[in-house]
Amino acid sequence: MITRLLKSAAVCGSMLILVACATGPDPSVRPIAQAESKIETAEESGAARSSPEAMASARKHLAAARAAADEGESEEATRLATKARLDAELAIAQADSQEAQQALEELEDSLQALRNEISRNQSR
Amino acid sequence: MIRSICILSVFLFGLAGCATTPEYVEALDVAESKVRSVRQMANATQVAEGEIEAAEEALGRAREIHKDNGNIADVRYHAYLAQRHAEIAESRISAQQAQQAIEGAEQRRTELLLRARETEAQRNERLAEQKAAEAAVARERAEEAIDVAAAERRRAEQARRTAEALADELQNVKAEQTERGVVLTLSDVLFDTDEAELKPGAGSAIAQLAELLDEYPERRLRIEGHTDSRGSDAYNRQLSRERAAAIADALTSRGINRNRLETVGMGEAYPVATNETAAGRQQNRRVEIVISEPDGDFPAVADRTAVTRNP
């Protein structure tokens, strides 16, 4: 019981400290930076071509996140940045998937060509 | 601790009191069905486990806020996260499936290439065998052809020598090496006009023929009578037959076996010269004697019905 009380006191103390620190840097700075970095990666992997919708959504959310941060709405900015980051991650995953799909198709085509050649050789 | 639970209960109670039914949020249902289907897809693979867990967590959060009649914007936010995590998981799964298919296809490709090489090798072997067989056949054919050519050359040489020998022996007769074999032509001087009886002067020619037959006992004679075109066909055939028979009789009387002699009356059907002039007609009135091969047969073309011969 005594330890619980001590813990509660400690929690209360730490919350006081957090409140005190709230005037520090905007908590949305980090999520926005993460979203920017993901969008950049997605653009490098050609996602603009393979999943334009997810990319457009990512850019839209990032712009909105920056705007919200400028307005001081840091919680909203964090959410929008998180959405932008997930949009970009989806674009990357779709680009990877599409690339694998294409490689598979090419391989299947070459397999078919090979089979045709073999059956031609056998019938000769 | 106990106090905080009490506060929460009061808060929840208050919320339940103001709105008993939470507002319908379509995005939540959409996200839920997406998360569920991706979870099923993922059962076979671990590749998207983290994403799916994140999706389920976000979905749970959204559901909880919704059930508690929380802020709809919060519900939508967490549903959005759930939806995105599920979609990312879905893409990763399909990428992995494609990757696995690629590995399978590459293995099949390796097998096929191996088989193609084997097939190619077998085909080359078969072709080589075929070529060798063809070469052997060609060599055999060439050798046969050489043999045939040599045999033909020998036969031609033999025939020429035979013709020369016969011609030497038969001073009064014209001897020719023809496609029918060696053919001797006796002119009409042996017979009087319209007569089938040999003139006495024919004796030496008959004697020479008999000698020839004695000398080559394996050979036979085909005696063909020919006339010019004067007179009817029937008459000419009859006359030519009788003239051929007269020569055969003369030879028989010289001791030649009748079996070695064939007679035929050709009539006016095979002229060797024009019937328009006396000289031509004289050439056409003749007896041709075809000498058989050593085996007693006449060359196939000796059958005059198969050959048309024009002057």
**pLDDT per residue as tens digits for the range A36-56:** 999 999 999 888 888 999 999
Tell whether B30 lies on the interface with A, counting CB pairs under 8 A. Answer: no
The 8-class DSSP code of residue B292 comes to P
CB of B123 within 8 Å of a chain A CB? The answer is yes
Looking at residue A105, what is its pLDDT? Answer: 94
Answer whether B272's CB lies under 8 Å from B228's CB: no
- pLDDT higher than 60, residue A57: yes
What would the pLDDT profile of B172-218 be if each residue is shown by its tens digit? 566 777 777 778 887 766 777 777 888 777 777 788 888 888 888 88
Residue B309: predicted pLDDT: 40
Length reported for chain B: 311
B131 or B177: which leads in pLDDT: B131
- Residue B95 with chain A: CB contacts under 8 Å: 93, 96-97, 99-101
Name the more confident of B120 and A34.
Answer: A34
* pLDDT, position B280: 86
Taking residues B287-306, what's their average pLDDT?
Answer: 72
The CA-CA-CA angle for residues A16, A20, A22, to 5°, reads 115
Answer yes or no: do A97 and B92 touch at CB < 8 A: yes
pTM: 0.50
Give pLDDT, residue B307.
Answer: 40
Closest residue by Cα to residue B89 from B42, B44, B40: B42
Please give the structure tokens belonging to residue A101: 């799909």
For B48-94, what is each residue's pLDDT tens digit?
899 999 999 999 999 999 999 999 999 999 999 999 999 999 999 99
What pLDDT is recorded for position A41?
A: 95
Report d(CA B186, CA B304) in Å as an integer. Answer: 18
Is pLDDT at A122 greater than 80 in this prediction?
A: no
Residues on A contacting B at a C-beta cutoff of 8 Å:
4, 8, 79, 82-83, 86-87, 89-90, 93-94, 96-97, 99-101, 103-104, 107-108, 110-111, 114-115, 117-118, 121-122, 124
* Alpha helices by DSSP H, A1-124: 2-21, 29-44, 47-50, 52-70, 74-123
Count of other CB atoms within 10 angstroms of residue B308:
8
- Is B302 a residue whose pLDDT tops 50? no
Question: Which 46-85 residues of chain B touch chain A by CB within 8 A?
Answer: 77, 80-81, 84-85
pLDDT of residue A73 exceeding 90: yes
Residue B170 and residue B291: Cα distance in Å, rounded?
Answer: 13
Position B211 scores a pLDDT of 84
